[in-house]
Amino acid sequence: MTLEVKDLVGGYSRIPVLKEVNFKINNGELVGLIGLNGAGKSTTINHIIGLLKPFSGEIKINGISIDDDVNEYKKQIAYIPEVPILYKELTLKEHIETTISAYDLDEKEAWSSANRLLKMFRLDKKLDWFPTNFSKGMRQKVMILCAFITNAKLFVIDEPFLGLDPVAVNDLLNLIEKQKKKGSSILMSTHVLDTAERFCDEFVLIHNGEVRTQGNIEKLQKEFGMDDSSLNDIYLELAEEESSHE
Ligand SMILES: Nc1ncnc2c1ncn2[C@@H]1O[C@H](COP(=O)(O)OP(=O)(O)OP(=O)(O)O)[C@@H](O)[C@H]1O
C-alpha cells in the first residue's frame, strides 16, 4: 500500500492551513507525523480520511483518490481518532457488528480477530456494555479493536498513547508491528517523541502547515547537523529555528 499526498493545499476556510504539503508512505511503513500544537497534523489527517476537501493537490491511496471512488477510497482506511467516537446507543458487540458490515468483512474471520483482541484488551466479558459505562482508555481500546479487525491498507492513528495504560500501549505497538508485516501502512500523529523514535520507520516533520522534511532519524540528524541527537532534540531545534524567523 502507498499513500501519496501531493501538493496538498487545504484547511477550513479560504485561508489555507496546509500549504503544498507533500509526503509519501510506502508499503509496510510506520510514519510519524510530528509537529507542534497547531502545526497542521489533524488538518492533514482530516484531508486524508476525507473529512475535508483539498483546495488543490491530491491524495491517493494505492493510486485511488476520493474522487475516483469514494467507497473504495474510504474502505482502504482505518482511522483511530485522538478522542474516541462511539455510538452511545450501541453496545460493544454492536460496534463490532457495525464495523463488519461497514467494511464488508467476512463475519467468521472478523469475529475470530475480534475475540482475540477482546481478550487482549480484557474487554471479552463486556460485549453487552454501552460506551457510557467504559473508561476513556476502554473507549480507546474499542476504537483500536474495531480498526484492527478491518485489515485496512492504511491505518491513520491520531495521538494514540495519551489515554492508554503501558500494557495497552505495548499491545497497540505489537498490533501495529503485525499489521506492517501484512503490508499495511500506518500514519501516526504523536507528541510522544521517544516512543515515535523507537518505533517509526520515518518521520514527517510538519511546521506551520508545511512539511519541513521527511526521513528516518539518520536523515534528520544529517539535515539538522545534529549527529546522534534524539528526535526530541531535533524537534526542539526546529521549533527554535522557526521561531527565530518569525
Ligand atoms: N475547525 C477549524 N476551523 C478553523 N481552523 C481550524 C480548525 N481546526 C484547526 N484549525 C486551525 O488549523 C491550524 C492547524 O490545526 P491542527 O488541528 O491541524 O493542528 P495540530 O498539529 O493537529 O495540533 P495539536 O498538536 O494541537 O493537535 C491551527 O491554526 C488551527 O487554529
Asked whether residue 133 is domain-assigned, the answer is: yes
Question: Percent of the chain beyond pLDDT 90?
Answer: 90
Under DSSP, is residue 153 helix (H, G, I), strand (E, B) or coil?
coil
Cell output for 200: 517509526
Asked whether residue 132 is domain-assigned, the answer is: yes
Atom of ligand 1 nearest to the CA of 38: 19
pLDDT digits (tens, 9 = 90+) for 66-95: 999 999 999 999 999 999 999 999 999 999
Q: What share of residues in the chain are helix, strand, coil (percent, to 5)?
A: 40, 20, 35
Atom of ligand 1 nearest to the CA of 35: 21
- Please tell me if the CB atom of residue 37 comes closer than 6 angstroms to any atom of ligand 1: yes
Stated pTM of the model: 0.94
Residue ID of nearest Cα to ligand 1 atom 24? 37
pLDDT at 23 over 90: yes
pLDDT at res. 246: 60
Atom of ligand 1 nearest to the CA of 45: 18
Q: Out of 5, 8, 14, 17, give the residue to mutate to test ligand 1, the one with the largest number of ligand atoms within 8 Å of its CB.
A: 17
Cell output for 62: 494505492
Cell output for 28: 509496510
pLDDT at res. 212: 92
Asked whether residue 24 is domain-assigned, the answer is: no
Total Cβ atoms within 10 A of residue 98:
13
User: What is the phi-psi region of residue 209: left when phi exceeds 0, alpha when psi lies from -120 to 50, beta otherwise?
Assistant: left
* Amino acid occupying residue 42: S
Total Cβ atoms within 10 A of residue 211:
21
Q: Count structural domains, the chain.
A: 1
Asked whether residue 124 is domain-assigned, the answer is: yes
Asked whether residue 100 is domain-assigned, the answer is: yes
Asked whether residue 90 is domain-assigned, the answer is: yes
Residue where the block lists cell 479493536: 145
Domain of residue 124 covers 83-151
C-alpha dihedral (145, 149, 152, 157), degrees to nearest 10: 10
Instruction: Respond yes or no on whether ipTM tops 0.90.
Output: yes
Asked whether residue 118 is domain-assigned, the answer is: yes
Asked whether residue 156 is domain-assigned, the answer is: no
Q: Where are the alpha helices (DSSP H) in 103-151?
A: 107-120, 136-148
- Please tell me if the CB atom of residue 183 comes closer than 6 angstroms to any atom of ligand 1: no
Question: In angstroms, rounded to a whole number, what is the distance separating the alpha carbons of residues 46 and 17?
Answer: 12
pLDDT at 114 over 80: yes
Stretch 149-164: mean pLDDT: 93
Characterize 105-141 residue by residue with b for buried, 16 or more Cβ atoms within 10 angstroms of its Cβ, and e for exposed.
beeeebbebbeebbebbebeebeeebbeebeeebbbb
E strand or H helix at 6: strand 3-10
